[in-house]
Homo-oligomer: A and B are copies of this chain.
């Protein structure tokens, strides 16, 4: 599904953004239908492996460095501020995803004959993972916050002015109580603070009814969202130090990593970003707000590192799109605004 039009802008959409990526394609199609050509060389890059760690993306970028050369990349994988207010995302959290297994006894044991006298890997794993956060919600991996680039007071001030509906954000997922690292607002927690969430856990008997087993092992998947300044490899070393310091006698860890990417912060004074802002204003009648995003879009980092240019993140999703959940949606109004916006941004970028 790779379509090539020339060299100017690289576009991309992930699995949860099937609607978003079509805004791009449709904008180019419309432009081409009206003008018979495009205003510059454009490469469209569609990548469908992001959610599984993009194993082929880096080799692909490396192998096609020349063909993919451009001035800037426009990524369509983020949200509008709301259905009437466009947004450009200039901060994206990075990610480090791990799977750990704690191995104990050589085989599953009867909890009556061994319970209370031998290592139980589930008891041990919950005890260790239960120490990831302290009582103030701070992640306890050694060095975790050492390199975090602090938010400026200007950024905090601008975000406070956005009028974020915290209650609505929570009610949308059946909750009422803000939660997380102390001394930060919900927006700051999602956009600018590093976190650790356990994404999966399993061990022992998980079927119906009961089985009195002490299993030979227990496993969990967990991931850290990283912010600007944090080096995923250094964070991984801190996690291993944390786990190893807590390994029970006779136990051993098996650790796998699935995906590792640094956070992104795009300079707000970039001329490309300024042009994208003007293009969005042309369609919405007001300039976009500059925001952060909690999710990771690793390709932005790879494009910077391998191809050597910045990305502008302009997307048209909404907070309640239920991405990665049943009944995911992408609204028609967002779809149409997205198509018009991409055409307008193209015009502004072609206006040099």
A163 interfacial contact with B, CB 8 Å = no
Known interface pairs A200-B204, A200-B205, A223-B212; A179-B118 also in contact (CB < 8 Å): yes
A190 interfacial contact with B, CB 8 Å = yes
A287 interfacial contact with B, CB 8 Å = no
Interface residues on A, range: 35 or more
Nearest CB in chain B to that of A127: its residue: B130
Contact A200 B213 (CB under 8 A): yes
Contact A214 B190 (CB under 8 A): no
- List residues 101-130 of chain A with CB under 8 A from any CB of chain B: 104-120, 122-123, 125-130
CB of A218 to closest CB in B, whole Å:
7
A198 interfacial contact with B, CB 8 Å = yes
Known interface pairs A107-B326, A129-B126, A223-B210; A201-B199 also in contact (CB < 8 Å): no
- A122 / chain B contacts, CB cutoff of 8 Å: 197-201, 220
Known interface pairs A105-B175, A175-B105, A176-B249; A111-B225 also in contact (CB < 8 Å): yes
A284 interfacial contact with B, CB 8 Å = no
Contact A214 B195 (CB under 8 A): no
- A39 / chain B contacts, CB cutoff of 8 Å: none
| A51–B111 CA distance with the chains assembled, in angstroms | 12
A322 interfacial contact with B, CB 8 Å = yes
- A127 / chain B contacts, CB cutoff of 8 Å: 129-130, 133
Contact B123 A125 (CB under 8 A): no
Contact B120 A197 (CB under 8 A): yes
Nearest CB in chain B to that of A139: its residue: B116
A162 interfacial contact with B, CB 8 Å = no
Contact A126 B123 (CB under 8 A): no
| A130–B113 CA distance with the chains assembled, in angstroms | 22
Contact A107 B209 (CB under 8 A): no
Contact A323 B113 (CB under 8 A): yes
Contact A190 B324 (CB under 8 A): no
CB of A180 to closest CB in B, whole Å:
5
| A122–B212 CA distance with the chains assembled, in angstroms | 22
| A99–B209 CA distance with the chains assembled, in angstroms | 8
8 residue pairs A–B, Cβ–Cβ below 8 Å: A105-B173, A112-B225, A118-B170, A122-B220, A130-B130, A177-B250, A201-B202, A212-B295
